[in-house]
Amino acid sequence: MTPLPLDSTHDAALMSWVDSANDPATDFPIQNLPFGRFRTASDAPWRIGVAIGDQVLDLESVGLIDTQDMNQLMAAAPAQRRALRLALSRGLSHGSEQQARFAEGLRAQSDVEMGLPCRIGDYTDFYTGIHHATAVGKLFRPDNPLLPNYKWVPIGYHGRASSIGVSGQAFHRPLGQTQAAGETTPTLAPSRRLDYELELGAFVAAPNALGEPVSITEAEDHLFGLALFNDWSARDIQAWEYQPLGPFLSKNFASTLSPWIVTLDALQPFRSAFTRPDGDPDPLPYLDSPTNRARGAVDIELEVWLLTPKMRAAGLAAERLSRSNARDAYWTLAQLVAHHSVNGCNLQSGDLFGSGTLSGPDAGQGGSLLELSQGGKQPVRLANGETRTFLEDGDQVIVRGHCERPGFRRIGFGECAGTVLPALARAPR
């Protein structure tokens, strides 16, 4: 994992002829250039675009790519991906000789429909948030919140790719088996403890062959970038079903992604040292390298906001529930790739890794209502007087994220929003 040098595309002084990209508040300045898929009508094919300010640039229309297969573009060699980023930066920079040609490829983001950023073949959800793991563990095992393997192995499970939707997704409250306290027989009913999980999603770029592990020194060459991710969870269904094999129906009814992939190239100015508390074990050699220790973490500020039906009816804005940072994750992106493939598993372009819930160490930094409400025992009070222990029908959860560091331009991820609909009226018999 050779650290990538910063180049002209990261220059904080760089300005674009797209005026909205120069707004200090935009998530998408010229230093970002995230990739996604859009279409101009519901029956039109998906096209590959790059966000710039409040616009999206159609890459094929300006001759920068010759494919509309995002997975194929993601699988290109790292040098090719960086060359494309440089070409985009030069063409969108203030004073570019290519301005007229590029301007013809711009579409207002408000005029297009965004889809999932690529074709997701497989999805693995990890458990890298040690503060979340500890907080949840304390609810069930106060004297032993972390299981013995947590600090040695990146814990994960295989999820369901087919139910992953893009920001704006609305989904029905899931049905499932639960067992009430004091009862000996479970019942099938809508979940009463529906929750969100604040996560990042990492996308695989270049695949590896079956039987050929990816070393940690090469791991980030096999990653394209990051998006915001909300892995909705039915906590009551989960509590009944998770032993002995882990999450199943409590997790696979819906997950929501933001539409833009922020590339690892764009994130280079926001890399941080990867450290562990004194006394914690060093990773095994296949999960360790000097570069991973020096730059393995990513400094991303993450937020969760809630908009309830009553707030919406009163014209109120969403309210922030929590704030945390991805640099607090216990495992790095490179470690996830190295571990996932160490047994010979063949990763494919477009595969998605969920980070697991990214909570902070302090009170109020929980990445889920399970933590913020102490398992439902302490309701979260909103400014309008409403309370929440878990999500109610009509609630919209909005995840936001950005990177900010002195000497560099702030970049963001857009929004990852999803809304809870009532359970389907009839349960199967």
Contact 134, 383 (CB under 8 A): no
Contact 12, 31 (CB under 8 A): yes
Q: Closest Cα to residue 193, out of 411, 376, 10?
A: 376
The 8-class DSSP code of residue 21 comes to: G
132, 222, 339, 340: which one is catalytic?
132
Peptide bond into 277 cis (omega under 30): no
Name the one residue in this structure whose structure tokens are 């702030």.
410
Contact 49, 36 (CB under 8 A): yes
Contact 328, 365 (CB under 8 A): no
- Which residues have a Cβ under 8 Å from the Cβ of 349 and sit 6 or more positions away? 71, 72, 74, 75, 118, 204, 205, 206, 207
- Residue 424 phi/psi, 5-degree rounding, is -55, 145
Burial class of 112 by CB neighbour count within 10 A (0 to 12, 13 to 18, 19+)? buried
Task: Give dist(CA 262, CA 211) in Å, integer.
Answer: 29
3-state secondary structure of 240: helix
**Rg for the chain, CA atoms, rounded:** 22
Q: Tell me how far apart the 2 most distant CA atoms of the chain are, in Å.
A: 74
Contact 48, 260 (CB under 8 A): no
Active site residue 132: yes
Question: What is the rounded end-to-end Cα distance, in angstroms, of the chain?
Answer: 54
Contact 369, 136 (CB under 8 A): no
Tell me whether strands 175-178 and 164-166 are parallel, antiparallel or unpaired. unpaired
HEC secondary structure over 255-309: EEECCCEEECCCCHHHEECCCCCCCCCCCCHHHCCHHHHHHCEECCEEEEEEECH
- Catalytically active residues are 132
